[in-house]
Amino acid sequence: MNGNQIEALIGMLATFGLLVLMILPSVIGIVRDKRIDRQIREAQKSSSTQKSSSRSTVPSTATWYADGRRSKKLVSS
């Protein structure tokens, strides 16, 4: 190999290295998103096999109002 070929090889390796550095974060993000999607699907599957309660999980207006009043009392004390 002569000097020109070595310079070309170094240039190609540097270009390839920069390409990998630029693509790596997006590949890591895609893999992470797929893992999270899989975990969500598994959780939904397992929750659908359990009995769901007929009770609402949203607090009533009276509870919300009382919580707001309690926090105001704590602040003014």
Q: H or E element: which one contains 7?
A: helix 3-49
Burial 9-43 (b: 16+ CB within 10 A, else e): eeeeeeeeeeeeeeeeeeeeeeeeeeeeeeeeeee
Distance from the Cα of residue 4 to its chain's centroid = 47
Query: What's the pLDDT score for residue 6?
Result: 95
Q: Please tell me the predicted confidence (pLDDT) of residue 47.
A: 85
The per-residue pLDDT for 48 is 81
Q: What is the pLDDT of residue 2?
A: 94
pLDDT of residue 65: 63
Instruction: Please tell me the predicted confidence (pLDDT) of residue 59.
Output: 62
Mean pLDDT by 10 residues, the chain (77 residues): 94 97 96 96 86 60 62 53
